[in-house]
Amino acid sequence: MIVLFILLALLALNIFCIYRIKRALEPSFQRTMLLISVWVMPFIGGLFALVGLPKAAHQSRPLPTEKLSAGFIYEEIPDLISLPGVTPFNLIEHITFQADIPVMNWAVFHAWLATINDAGLKRDARLQGQRAWLAYVKEGIGSHCYMYESEKTLIVSSSEPNVIEAGARFIEKNHARIAKLLPGVAQFPPDMKSILLVLDNEDMYYQYVSVYYPEGGEFAVSGGMFIDAGCPHFVTVLSDLLMIEPVITHEMTHSALNYLKLPLWLDEGIAVNVEFQLSPFLQGANSEKNLYARHLQFWDADRIQEFWSGASFSRSGESNTLSYDLARILVKNLSQDWQTFARFVTAAKKEDAGSRAALEILDLDLGVGVCALFDAQWESSWSPHIQAESVAGAA
Protein backbone atom coordinates (compact mmCIF):
# COMPACT_ATOMS: atom_id res chain seq x y z
CA MET A 1 0.00 0.00 0.00
CA ILE A 2 2.84 2.38 0.90
CA VAL A 3 4.63 1.57 -2.37
CA LEU A 4 1.46 2.33 -4.32
CA PHE A 5 1.08 5.66 -2.49
CA ILE A 6 4.70 6.60 -3.33
CA LEU A 7 4.20 5.70 -6.98
CA LEU A 8 1.03 7.79 -7.17
CA ALA A 9 2.82 10.73 -5.50
CA LEU A 10 5.69 10.50 -8.01
CA LEU A 11 3.22 10.32 -10.90
CA ALA A 12 1.36 13.37 -9.59
CA LEU A 13 4.65 15.28 -9.23
CA ASN A 14 5.68 14.37 -12.78
CA ILE A 15 2.32 15.49 -14.18
CA PHE A 16 2.59 18.79 -12.27
CA CYS A 17 6.16 19.32 -13.54
CA ILE A 18 5.12 18.68 -17.13
CA TYR A 19 2.26 21.16 -16.75
CA ARG A 20 4.63 23.84 -15.37
CA ILE A 21 7.27 23.24 -18.07
CA LYS A 22 4.73 23.51 -20.89
CA ARG A 23 3.27 26.70 -19.43
CA ALA A 24 6.64 28.34 -18.77
CA LEU A 25 8.49 27.49 -21.99
CA GLU A 26 7.63 27.67 -25.66
CA PRO A 27 8.58 24.63 -27.83
CA SER A 28 12.38 24.47 -27.82
CA PHE A 29 15.32 22.16 -27.22
CA GLN A 30 15.41 23.25 -23.57
CA ARG A 31 11.74 22.36 -23.04
CA THR A 32 12.17 18.95 -24.74
CA MET A 33 15.16 18.07 -22.52
CA LEU A 34 13.35 19.12 -19.36
CA LEU A 35 10.31 17.01 -20.27
CA ILE A 36 12.54 14.01 -20.90
CA SER A 37 14.38 14.51 -17.59
CA VAL A 38 11.09 14.42 -15.67
CA TRP A 39 10.44 10.83 -16.79
CA VAL A 40 14.03 9.58 -16.97
CA MET A 41 14.79 10.76 -13.42
CA PRO A 42 11.47 10.75 -11.48
CA PHE A 43 11.34 13.20 -8.56
CA ILE A 44 14.98 14.41 -8.97
CA GLY A 45 14.44 15.37 -12.62
CA GLY A 46 11.19 17.11 -11.74
CA LEU A 47 12.77 19.14 -8.94
CA PHE A 48 15.68 20.23 -11.13
CA ALA A 49 13.22 21.22 -13.86
CA LEU A 50 11.12 23.35 -11.52
CA VAL A 51 14.17 25.11 -10.08
CA GLY A 52 15.44 25.90 -13.58
CA LEU A 53 12.18 27.33 -14.95
CA PRO A 54 11.80 31.06 -15.48
CA LYS A 55 9.37 32.73 -13.12
CA ALA A 56 5.84 33.13 -14.36
CA ALA A 57 4.69 36.67 -14.99
CA HIS A 58 2.57 36.90 -11.85
CA GLN A 59 5.47 35.67 -9.68
CA SER A 60 7.97 38.16 -11.08
CA ARG A 61 8.54 41.52 -9.42
CA PRO A 62 10.49 44.42 -10.95
CA LEU A 63 13.58 45.60 -9.15
CA PRO A 64 13.19 48.83 -7.16
CA THR A 65 14.15 52.03 -8.97
CA GLU A 66 17.33 52.58 -6.94
CA LYS A 67 18.74 49.27 -8.19
CA LEU A 68 18.20 50.08 -11.88
CA SER A 69 20.34 52.14 -14.23
CA ALA A 70 19.20 55.58 -15.33
CA GLY A 71 17.76 54.27 -18.60
CA PHE A 72 14.80 52.55 -16.93
CA ILE A 73 11.68 54.71 -16.94
CA TYR A 74 9.20 54.78 -14.06
CA GLU A 75 6.51 57.39 -14.59
CA GLU A 76 2.77 57.68 -14.30
CA ILE A 77 0.74 57.49 -17.50
CA PRO A 78 0.04 61.12 -18.45
CA ASP A 79 -3.40 62.38 -19.45
CA LEU A 80 -1.95 65.16 -21.62
CA ILE A 81 1.20 65.88 -23.61
CA SER A 82 2.06 69.47 -22.79
CA LEU A 83 4.82 71.66 -24.20
CA PRO A 84 5.47 75.42 -23.91
CA GLY A 85 3.35 77.44 -26.31
CA VAL A 86 1.63 74.36 -27.77
CA THR A 87 -1.99 73.27 -27.39
CA PRO A 88 -1.88 70.09 -25.23
CA PHE A 89 -2.63 66.71 -26.80
CA ASN A 90 -5.30 64.78 -24.89
CA LEU A 91 -4.16 61.15 -24.69
CA ILE A 92 -7.34 59.87 -23.04
CA GLU A 93 -9.43 61.00 -26.01
CA HIS A 94 -7.17 59.41 -28.59
CA ILE A 95 -6.17 56.03 -27.12
CA THR A 96 -8.64 53.18 -27.53
CA PHE A 97 -8.44 49.51 -26.61
CA GLN A 98 -8.85 46.70 -29.14
CA ALA A 99 -8.72 43.19 -27.67
CA ASP A 100 -7.22 44.84 -24.54
CA ILE A 101 -4.42 46.35 -26.68
CA PRO A 102 -3.93 50.13 -26.33
CA VAL A 103 -4.04 51.70 -29.81
CA MET A 104 -3.10 55.33 -30.35
CA ASN A 105 -4.89 57.34 -33.03
CA TRP A 106 -1.61 58.21 -34.70
CA ALA A 107 -3.28 60.10 -37.56
CA VAL A 108 -4.68 62.64 -35.07
CA PHE A 109 -1.37 62.69 -33.20
CA HIS A 110 0.60 63.46 -36.39
CA ALA A 111 -1.90 66.17 -37.32
CA TRP A 112 -1.21 67.71 -33.89
CA LEU A 113 2.55 67.41 -34.47
CA ALA A 114 2.15 69.28 -37.76
CA THR A 115 0.93 72.34 -35.83
CA ILE A 116 4.31 72.60 -34.05
CA ASN A 117 6.75 74.71 -36.04
CA ASP A 118 9.82 74.40 -33.85
CA ALA A 119 11.82 71.29 -34.90
CA GLY A 120 13.18 70.66 -31.40
CA LEU A 121 9.75 70.90 -29.79
CA LYS A 122 8.34 68.61 -32.47
CA ARG A 123 10.96 65.92 -31.74
CA ASP A 124 10.25 66.24 -28.01
CA ALA A 125 6.47 66.00 -28.60
CA ARG A 126 6.85 62.89 -30.79
CA LEU A 127 9.01 61.19 -28.15
CA GLN A 128 6.56 62.08 -25.39
CA GLY A 129 3.73 60.58 -27.43
CA GLN A 130 5.68 57.36 -28.01
CA ARG A 131 6.60 57.10 -24.31
CA ALA A 132 3.00 57.69 -23.25
CA TRP A 133 1.65 55.03 -25.62
CA LEU A 134 4.34 52.57 -24.46
CA ALA A 135 3.40 53.30 -20.85
CA TYR A 136 -0.12 52.09 -21.66
CA VAL A 137 1.34 48.98 -23.35
CA LYS A 138 3.63 48.34 -20.36
CA GLU A 139 0.68 48.57 -17.96
CA GLY A 140 -1.25 46.10 -20.13
CA ILE A 141 1.59 43.55 -20.00
CA GLY A 142 1.81 43.76 -16.21
CA SER A 143 3.63 45.26 -13.25
CA HIS A 144 6.57 42.91 -13.84
CA CYS A 145 7.40 44.74 -17.06
CA TYR A 146 10.11 47.36 -17.61
CA MET A 147 10.42 50.33 -19.97
CA TYR A 148 13.96 51.25 -21.00
CA GLU A 149 15.28 54.14 -23.08
CA SER A 150 18.72 54.71 -24.58
CA GLU A 151 20.02 57.11 -27.20
CA LYS A 152 18.53 55.12 -30.09
CA THR A 153 16.04 52.72 -28.50
CA LEU A 154 12.83 52.40 -26.51
CA ILE A 155 12.18 48.91 -25.15
CA VAL A 156 9.23 47.44 -23.25
CA SER A 157 9.97 43.96 -21.92
CA SER A 158 9.74 41.75 -18.83
CA SER A 159 13.25 40.38 -19.41
CA GLU A 160 15.88 40.80 -16.72
CA PRO A 161 17.26 44.38 -16.65
CA ASN A 162 20.74 43.30 -17.80
CA VAL A 163 19.16 41.45 -20.76
CA ILE A 164 17.16 44.55 -21.71
CA GLU A 165 20.29 46.71 -21.60
CA ALA A 166 22.16 44.14 -23.71
CA GLY A 167 19.28 44.20 -26.20
CA ALA A 168 19.51 47.99 -26.45
CA ARG A 169 23.26 47.78 -27.12
CA PHE A 170 22.62 45.14 -29.77
CA ILE A 171 20.04 47.35 -31.52
CA GLU A 172 22.39 50.33 -31.51
CA LYS A 173 25.24 48.26 -32.99
CA ASN A 174 22.84 46.90 -35.61
CA HIS A 175 22.09 50.40 -36.88
CA ALA A 176 25.71 50.62 -38.07
CA ARG A 177 25.90 47.00 -39.25
CA ILE A 178 22.75 47.18 -41.38
CA ALA A 179 23.75 50.55 -42.83
CA LYS A 180 27.12 49.05 -43.79
CA LEU A 181 25.55 45.97 -45.40
CA LEU A 182 22.98 48.02 -47.34
CA PRO A 183 24.81 51.20 -48.45
CA GLY A 184 22.60 53.64 -50.31
CA VAL A 185 19.48 51.68 -49.31
CA ALA A 186 19.14 51.39 -45.51
CA GLN A 187 17.90 54.53 -43.83
CA PHE A 188 17.23 55.02 -40.13
CA PRO A 189 15.66 58.43 -39.41
CA PRO A 190 18.23 60.22 -37.19
CA ASP A 191 15.62 61.81 -34.90
CA MET A 192 13.59 58.63 -34.23
CA LYS A 193 14.31 55.77 -31.84
CA SER A 194 13.94 52.08 -32.65
CA ILE A 195 11.02 50.76 -30.58
CA LEU A 196 10.96 47.11 -29.46
CA LEU A 197 8.15 45.31 -27.65
CA VAL A 198 9.07 41.93 -26.15
CA LEU A 199 5.85 40.18 -25.16
CA ASP A 200 5.69 37.45 -22.53
CA ASN A 201 4.38 34.55 -24.62
CA GLU A 202 2.97 33.57 -28.00
CA ASP A 203 -0.64 34.06 -26.94
CA MET A 204 0.08 37.67 -25.98
CA TYR A 205 2.12 38.15 -29.17
CA TYR A 206 -0.62 36.94 -31.53
CA GLN A 207 -3.25 38.90 -29.61
CA TYR A 208 -1.14 42.02 -30.10
CA VAL A 209 -0.29 41.61 -33.80
CA SER A 210 -3.88 40.59 -34.66
CA VAL A 211 -4.88 44.21 -34.02
CA TYR A 212 -2.70 45.23 -36.98
CA TYR A 213 -3.66 42.41 -39.37
CA PRO A 214 -6.45 42.95 -41.90
CA GLU A 215 -9.65 41.17 -40.89
CA GLY A 216 -10.07 37.63 -42.17
CA GLY A 217 -7.62 35.67 -44.27
CA GLU A 218 -4.89 33.17 -43.46
CA PHE A 219 -1.77 34.25 -41.61
CA ALA A 220 1.43 32.32 -41.09
CA VAL A 221 3.20 31.68 -37.79
CA SER A 222 5.89 34.26 -37.08
CA GLY A 223 8.53 34.98 -34.46
CA GLY A 224 8.52 38.73 -34.87
CA MET A 225 6.99 41.53 -36.89
CA PHE A 226 7.71 45.07 -37.98
CA ILE A 227 4.56 47.17 -37.65
CA ASP A 228 4.18 50.50 -39.40
CA ALA A 229 0.88 51.89 -38.17
CA GLY A 230 1.65 55.48 -37.34
CA CYS A 231 4.46 54.60 -34.94
CA PRO A 232 6.95 52.17 -36.54
CA HIS A 233 7.99 49.48 -34.07
CA PHE A 234 8.90 45.83 -33.96
CA VAL A 235 7.57 43.16 -31.69
CA THR A 236 8.76 39.70 -30.67
CA VAL A 237 8.30 37.06 -27.95
CA LEU A 238 10.27 36.71 -24.71
CA SER A 239 13.11 34.23 -25.16
CA ASP A 240 16.84 33.82 -24.76
CA LEU A 241 18.60 36.91 -26.14
CA LEU A 242 20.59 34.76 -28.57
CA MET A 243 17.32 33.57 -30.10
CA ILE A 244 15.77 37.05 -30.18
CA GLU A 245 18.75 38.73 -31.88
CA PRO A 246 18.12 37.32 -35.40
CA VAL A 247 14.46 38.36 -35.16
CA ILE A 248 15.48 41.88 -34.11
CA THR A 249 17.98 42.04 -36.99
CA HIS A 250 15.31 40.95 -39.49
CA GLU A 251 12.74 43.45 -38.22
CA MET A 252 15.29 46.27 -38.00
CA THR A 253 16.07 45.70 -41.66
CA HIS A 254 12.38 46.13 -42.48
CA SER A 255 12.47 49.32 -40.44
CA ALA A 256 15.48 50.62 -42.39
CA LEU A 257 13.71 49.88 -45.71
CA ASN A 258 10.29 51.09 -44.62
CA TYR A 259 10.57 54.47 -46.35
CA LEU A 260 10.82 52.73 -49.75
CA LYS A 261 7.50 50.81 -49.52
CA LEU A 262 9.01 47.86 -51.41
CA PRO A 263 7.31 44.81 -52.94
CA LEU A 264 7.04 42.24 -50.18
CA TRP A 265 9.29 39.65 -51.89
CA LEU A 266 12.09 42.20 -52.21
CA ASP A 267 11.66 43.56 -48.68
CA GLU A 268 11.70 40.05 -47.18
CA GLY A 269 14.52 38.84 -49.42
CA ILE A 270 16.80 41.65 -48.26
CA ALA A 271 15.80 41.16 -44.61
CA VAL A 272 16.49 37.40 -44.68
CA ASN A 273 19.91 37.92 -46.33
CA VAL A 274 20.89 40.52 -43.74
CA GLU A 275 19.66 38.22 -40.96
CA PHE A 276 21.77 35.36 -42.31
CA GLN A 277 24.86 37.54 -42.69
CA LEU A 278 24.64 38.89 -39.14
CA SER A 279 23.47 35.58 -37.62
CA PRO A 280 25.34 32.95 -39.69
CA PHE A 281 24.47 30.09 -37.32
CA LEU A 282 20.92 30.19 -38.75
CA GLN A 283 21.97 28.99 -42.18
CA GLY A 284 21.98 25.32 -41.23
CA ALA A 285 18.25 25.32 -40.43
CA ASN A 286 17.18 24.71 -44.03
CA SER A 287 19.99 23.86 -46.41
CA GLU A 288 19.67 24.94 -50.04
CA LYS A 289 20.00 21.32 -51.16
CA ASN A 290 17.08 20.21 -48.99
CA LEU A 291 14.84 23.06 -50.15
CA TYR A 292 15.62 22.93 -53.87
CA ALA A 293 13.55 19.80 -54.55
CA ARG A 294 10.64 21.31 -52.60
CA HIS A 295 10.85 24.48 -54.71
CA LEU A 296 10.67 22.43 -57.91
CA GLN A 297 7.55 20.61 -56.72
CA PHE A 298 5.79 23.63 -55.26
CA TRP A 299 6.00 26.55 -57.67
CA ASP A 300 3.77 26.86 -60.70
CA ALA A 301 2.37 29.80 -62.68
CA ASP A 302 -0.49 30.44 -60.22
CA ARG A 303 1.61 30.20 -57.07
CA ILE A 304 4.36 32.41 -58.46
CA GLN A 305 1.78 35.15 -58.97
CA GLU A 306 0.96 34.89 -55.25
CA PHE A 307 4.68 35.26 -54.59
CA TRP A 308 4.88 38.46 -56.66
CA SER A 309 1.77 39.88 -54.99
CA GLY A 310 2.98 38.94 -51.49
CA ALA A 311 0.01 36.70 -50.66
CA SER A 312 2.10 33.51 -50.47
CA PHE A 313 4.15 34.87 -47.55
CA SER A 314 1.09 34.97 -45.31
CA ARG A 315 -0.02 31.41 -46.01
CA SER A 316 1.06 28.80 -43.50
CA GLY A 317 3.26 25.77 -44.11
CA GLU A 318 5.15 25.17 -47.34
CA SER A 319 4.00 28.38 -49.00
CA ASN A 320 5.44 30.52 -46.21
CA THR A 321 8.74 28.64 -45.93
CA LEU A 322 9.43 28.53 -49.66
CA SER A 323 8.35 32.13 -50.26
CA TYR A 324 10.93 33.43 -47.81
CA ASP A 325 13.60 31.14 -49.25
CA LEU A 326 12.84 32.07 -52.86
CA ALA A 327 12.99 35.76 -51.91
CA ARG A 328 16.35 35.14 -50.25
CA ILE A 329 17.75 33.35 -53.29
CA LEU A 330 16.49 35.97 -55.75
CA VAL A 331 17.98 38.85 -53.76
CA LYS A 332 21.25 36.99 -53.26
CA ASN A 333 21.56 36.46 -57.02
CA LEU A 334 20.38 39.90 -58.07
CA SER A 335 22.64 41.77 -55.63
CA GLN A 336 26.00 40.53 -56.94
CA ASP A 337 26.55 43.99 -58.44
CA TRP A 338 25.53 46.01 -55.41
CA GLN A 339 25.48 49.49 -56.95
CA THR A 340 23.15 48.38 -59.74
CA PHE A 341 21.01 46.41 -57.30
CA ALA A 342 20.75 49.40 -54.95
CA ARG A 343 19.43 51.51 -57.83
CA PHE A 344 16.88 48.78 -58.56
CA VAL A 345 15.78 48.64 -54.91
CA THR A 346 15.24 52.39 -54.66
CA ALA A 347 13.24 52.36 -57.92
CA ALA A 348 11.14 49.20 -57.34
CA LYS A 349 7.40 49.75 -56.88
CA LYS A 350 4.99 47.56 -54.96
CA GLU A 351 2.28 48.06 -57.60
CA ASP A 352 4.09 45.96 -60.23
CA ALA A 353 6.24 43.82 -57.87
CA GLY A 354 9.30 45.69 -59.11
CA SER A 355 9.02 44.35 -62.67
CA ARG A 356 9.45 47.69 -64.48
CA ALA A 357 12.49 48.65 -62.40
CA ALA A 358 14.00 45.20 -63.04
CA LEU A 359 13.57 45.60 -66.80
CA GLU A 360 14.96 49.14 -66.85
CA ILE A 361 17.85 48.79 -64.39
CA LEU A 362 18.73 45.09 -64.26
CA ASP A 363 17.73 44.38 -67.87
CA LEU A 364 15.86 41.35 -66.52
CA ASP A 365 12.33 40.04 -66.61
CA LEU A 366 11.70 38.77 -63.06
CA GLY A 367 9.84 35.73 -64.39
CA VAL A 368 12.87 34.82 -66.50
CA GLY A 369 15.02 35.14 -63.37
CA VAL A 370 12.86 32.71 -61.40
CA CYS A 371 12.69 30.19 -64.25
CA ALA A 372 16.49 30.30 -64.55
CA LEU A 373 16.80 29.36 -60.88
CA PHE A 374 14.70 26.25 -61.50
CA ASP A 375 16.22 25.50 -64.92
CA ALA A 376 12.71 25.80 -66.41
CA GLN A 377 11.45 27.09 -69.75
CA TRP A 378 10.18 30.66 -69.32
CA GLU A 379 6.54 31.46 -70.00
CA SER A 380 4.93 34.88 -69.60
CA SER A 381 2.64 33.48 -66.88
CA TRP A 382 5.68 33.34 -64.58
CA SER A 383 6.33 37.08 -64.81
CA PRO A 384 4.49 39.57 -62.55
CA HIS A 385 1.26 40.53 -64.28
CA ILE A 386 -1.06 41.54 -61.45
CA GLN A 387 -1.03 44.52 -59.14
CA ALA A 388 0.84 43.58 -55.99
CA GLU A 389 -1.52 43.74 -53.07
CA SER A 390 -0.65 45.36 -49.82
CA VAL A 391 -0.11 42.35 -47.59
CA ALA A 392 1.07 42.50 -43.98
CA GLY A 393 4.48 40.79 -43.72
CA ALA A 394 5.35 38.44 -40.80
CA ALA A 395 8.98 37.58 -40.06
Tens digits of residue pLDDT in 105-162: 999 999 999 999 999 999 999 999 999 999 999 988 888 899 999 999 999 998 889 9
Q: Give the full edge-to-edge strand order of the sheet including 224-227.
A: 146-149, 153-157, 194-199, 233-237, 224-227
pLDDT of res. 264: 97
Using CA atoms of 181, 173, 73, 124 in order, give the dihedral in degrees to the nearest 10: -50
55-59 mean pLDDT: 42
CA 31 to chain CA mean position, Å:
23
What local confidence, expressed as pLDDT, does residue 56 receive?
A: 45
Higher pLDDT, 289 or 168: 168
Confidence of residue 375 (pLDDT cuts 50, 70, 90): confident
Q: Which residues contact 389 (CB under 8 A, 6 or more apart)?
A: 309, 310, 311
Whether the predicted pLDDT of 172 surpasses 70: yes
pLDDT above 60: residue 366: yes
Q: How confident is the model at residue 190 (pLDDT cuts 50, 70, 90)?
A: confident
Considering only residues 246 and 216, tell me which one the structure prediction assigns the higher pLDDT.
246
Distance separating alpha carbons of residues 332 and 317, to the nearest angstrom: 23
pTM of the predicted protein model: 0.76
* pLDDT > 50? residue 289: yes
Q: How confident is the model at residue 198 (pLDDT cuts 50, 70, 90)?
A: very high
Q: Where are the domains of the chain?
A: 2-53, 65-259, 272-382
Q: Highest-confidence range of 93-102, 251-260, 279-288, 379-388, by mean pLDDT?
A: 251-260
**pLDDT for res 55:** 45
User: Please, what is the average pLDDT of the chain?
Assistant: 83
pLDDT of residue 185: 97
Q: Comparing 3-12, 92-101, 312-321, which segment has the lowest mean pLDDT?
A: 3-12
Strands 101-104 and 146-149: unpaired
Share of the chain above pLDDT 70, in %: 76
pLDDT tier at 194, thresholds 50, 70, 90 = very high
Residue with the larger pLDDT of the pair 217 and 72: 72
Tens digits of residue pLDDT in 60-82? 456 666 678 889 987 678 889 99
Of 151-165, 232-246, 271-285, give the range with the top mean pLDDT: 151-165
Choose between 225 and 361: higher pLDDT. 361
390 by DSSP, 3-state: which?
coil
Quickly state the pLDDT bin for 59 (edges 50, 70, 90): very low
Mean pLDDT of all residues in 312-336 = 94
Per the CB < 8 A criterion, the answer to whether 144 and 158 are in contact is yes
- Which residues are CB-contacts of 55 (< 8 A; sequence separation ≥ 6)? none
**Mean pLDDT throughout 75-94?**
88
State the pLDDT at residue 77. Answer: 82
pLDDT in tens, 30-41: 555 566 665 566
Distance CA 150, CA 148 (A): 7
User: 320 near 220, Cβ under 8 Å?
Assistant: yes
